[in-house]
């Protein structure tokens, strides 16, 4: 299950429980809408309450990331899962976005909105 919050060129995504292919397709629609009307989007993924995701979600993410490799500005990811962190590093190979991992929601929100990171975090 996901919760989307869209404001201008920023999309905040909270995943709770199982991240399904239907959830991912809902996210894709929001991103495509943002790209169409904003040109580029910034994403904040809060994956701290995500329990799991399926292989089809991972595959769809990879395809979508490659198709839209230049359509993202900043992507902030909140997670404690090492597999999610690893997949973030893989996505960096296919995207021009600035992708960062965060432990604190407020810091991630500020950075996605265009703020600077403290010197120790950057």
The enclosing domain of 78 has a CATH number of 3.40.50.10600
Number of domains composing the chain: 1
Characterize the bridge pairing of strands 41-53 and 72-78. parallel
The answer to the question of residue 121 being in a domain is no
Q: CA-CA distance, 9 to 31, in Å (whole number)?
A: 9
25 located within any domain? yes
Domain that holds residue 94: 2-112
Residue 119 placed within a domain: no
Specify if 118 maps to a domain: no
34, containing H or E segment: helix 21-38
54 in any annotated domain: yes
Query: Of all residues in the chain, what percent are helix, strand and coil, respectively (each to 5)?
Result: 40, 35, 25
Tens digits of pLDDT across the chain (122 residues): 999 999 989 999 999 999 999 999 999 999 999 999 988 999 999 999 998 888 898 889 888 988 999 999 999 999 877 766 666 666 666 788 898 989 899 999 999 999 887 765 55
Of 57, 97, 93, the C-alpha closest to 76 is 97
Q: What pLDDT shows up at residue 18?
A: 93
pTM comes to 0.86
Q: Using an 8 Å Cβ cutoff, are 70 and 103 in contact?
A: no
């Amino acid at each position: 299950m996901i919760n989307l919050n869209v404001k201008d060129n920023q999309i905040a995504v909270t995943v709770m429980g199982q991240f399904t292919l239907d959830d991912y397709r809902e996210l894709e629609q929001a991103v495509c809408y943002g790209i169409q009307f904003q040109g580029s989007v910034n994403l904040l993924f809060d994956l701290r309450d995500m329990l799991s995701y399926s292989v089809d979600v991972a595959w769809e993410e990879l395809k979508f990331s490659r198709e839209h490799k230049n359509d993202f500005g900043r992507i902030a990811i909140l997670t404690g899962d090492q597999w999610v962190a690893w997949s973030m590093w893989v996505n960096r190979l296919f995207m021009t976005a600035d992708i960062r991992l965060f432990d604190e929601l407020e810091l991630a929100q500020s950075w996605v909105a265009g703020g600077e990171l403290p010197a120790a975090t950057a």
